[in-house]
Amino acid sequence: MAVELGKAVFIDKDGTLIHDVPYNVDPRRIELTEGIGAALHRMKNAGYKLIVISNQSGIARRLFNENDLLPVNQQIQALLGPYDARVDAFYYCPHGPGDGCECRKPMPGMILRAARDQAIDPRSSWMIGDILHDVEAGNRAGCRTIHFNNGNETEWITGNYRQPSHSVKNLAEAADVICRHALGLWKEAV
């Protein structure tokens, strides 16, 4: 008997879910990105699990340890509580840029692991991020992708897998795209 797979919105943490404060593990400095609570609430109501996918090279650089991430994740959950938009799971890569792992974005390892762990079909899912490494990871995993164009991308290196399915200027637009797809109201260009 085949297990029916669910769907998820995989979301980048720093710069997308919360304001990017490099290597921050102080929960008091965590601030949600404008509109993210309402946007995640809409996606959750459309039947998507919410899964955070985040590179955390500060661990490899010995700036903090893995245990320091737990209070940050707890603060994110507390800030999302009033929106009824709790995150279902947090995944992170502890490696540095030169470590050659398969989990660090732009590689798809974190998404694929989360999909296995959470019984998710990547083809029915989305990846939202503020840089093209997020887009590439999502595309490599088989997800639809949304680039949250908030000015954080500085390199704009194009190539295979780096073209998003959609580009948005705010997270309300991302929720619109995803919810319209979920309802079958979005027509793909042919």
**Contact between 129 and 9 (Cβ < 8 Å):** no
The boundaries of the domain holding residue 27 are 8-182
What is the pLDDT, as a whole number, of residue 186? Answer: 61
> What CATH number is attached to the domain comprising 150?
3.40.50.1000
Query: Quick one: tokens of 159?
Result: 């190539």
Domains identified in the chain, total number: 1
Is residue 150 situated within a structural domain?
yes
Would residue 121 show up in a list of annotated catalytic residues for this protein?
Answer: no
pLDDT in tens, the chain (190 residues): 667 899 999 999 999 999 999 999 999 999 999 999 999 999 999 999 999 999 999 999 999 999 999 999 999 999 999 999 999 999 999 999 999 999 999 999 999 999 999 999 999 999 999 999 999 999 999 999 999 999 998 888 989 899 999 999 999 999 999 999 887 776 554 3
User: Within a domain: residue 170?
Assistant: yes
Q: What is the pTM of this model?
A: 0.94
pLDDT for 190 equals: 38
Residue 93, domain member (yes or no):
yes
Residue 168 lies in a domain: yes
d(CA 170, CA 164): 15
Tell me if 66 is assigned to some domain.
yes
The single residue of 14, 26, 68, 130 carrying the catalytic annotation is 14
Place of tokens 């290196």: 157
Q: Decide if 190 is inside a domain.
A: no
Question: Is 2 part of a structural domain of the chain?
Answer: no
**SS3 sequence of 100-154:** CCCCCCCCCHHHHHHHHHHCECHHHCEEEECCHHHHHHHHHHCCEEEEECCCCCC
The reply to whether 188 falls in a domain is: no
| Catalytic one of 12, 99, 134, 176 | 12
